[in-house]
Structures are given as C-alpha cells and as structure tokens.
Amino acid sequence: MDTLERVRRLGFRRWYERELIESHAYFVTCFGCLILVAVVLEMSGLAEMATERPLLLLLILGAGVLGVFSWKRFRVILARAERFAERAVCAQCGAYGALDVLDHGTPSAGPEDAGWMQVRCRKCAHRWTIE
C-alpha cells in the first residue's frame, strides 16, 4: 500500500507515528550491525584457525550490507515523514494533522518522492496541497 493510501486509511497522526517507529527500527538495525562489525573485527584478530577467518569476513560483509541498507531506508522514511509533517498545518486555523485526504497523485521521482495530496482541514474546511 502506498504512502498516500495509508495516510487516508490511518489518518495523518497515526501514519506519522508509524513512519517514525519504522524509520527508527531501521536506525536500530543499522546501529546493531555497526556493533556486530566491531565485535567480529575484534574476534577476527583472535581467530587462529584458517577456516574461521572466511566465515568472520562473510559475517562482516553481511552485517555491512544490512547496515548500509538500513541506514538508507532510515533516511528515506524519516525525510518523507518530516516533509509531510512540515506541511500538515492548516494555514487558516493552525490545526496540525487534523486533515482529510481528498485526492492524491502518484510519485514521479522514485522512492523518496511520495507524490502529492489534496487535503482539507477538519476544523475549518480549508483546502491545500501537500507535496
């Protein structure tokens, strides 16, 4: 399900909360991979048998790839959530996140782009576009 449909289904505030939780789960995964790489590098100095070193290097490579992937996902999800959060304030009454999605467009520039939403404030019925 795309971002805009999830905002429509969950509501903006719940969607934003879930995006922050998901992005920080990726951050914790990245941090765990960093610790794992440091521990395995320390262990590789202690490995005496020739068969252990390739396995440790494979573990370092796997944790490194997972860490880089997690860092990229963390940044993309957090940037998207913050971009929408900055524009979720009604210019007329100042209400934050109290909006209904009226219409939306599809992303055009890739995974960082979440498209656009035409929204209406629940308090004063003011309409604006969030990009």
Which residues lie closer than 8 Å to 125 by C-beta, 6 or more apart? none
Task: Give the Cα separation of 127 and 122 in Å (integer).
Answer: 10
Rounded mean pLDDT, 104-112: 65
Sign of CA dihedral 50, 51, 52, 55: positive
What total number of domains does the chain contain?
1
Whole-prediction pTM value? 0.80
Query: From start to end of the chain, where are the E strands?
Result: 99-105, 116-121, 127-130
Residue 45 has pLDDT above 80, yes or no: no
Q: What is the pLDDT of residues 55-92, one digit of tens each?
A: 888 999 999 999 999 999 999 999 999 999 999 999 99
Domain that holds residue 92: 3-130
Please name the helix (run of DSSP H) or strand (run of DSSP E) that holds residue 9, with its range, or none. helix 3-10
Q: What is the mean pLDDT of the chain?
A: 87
pLDDT at 71: 98
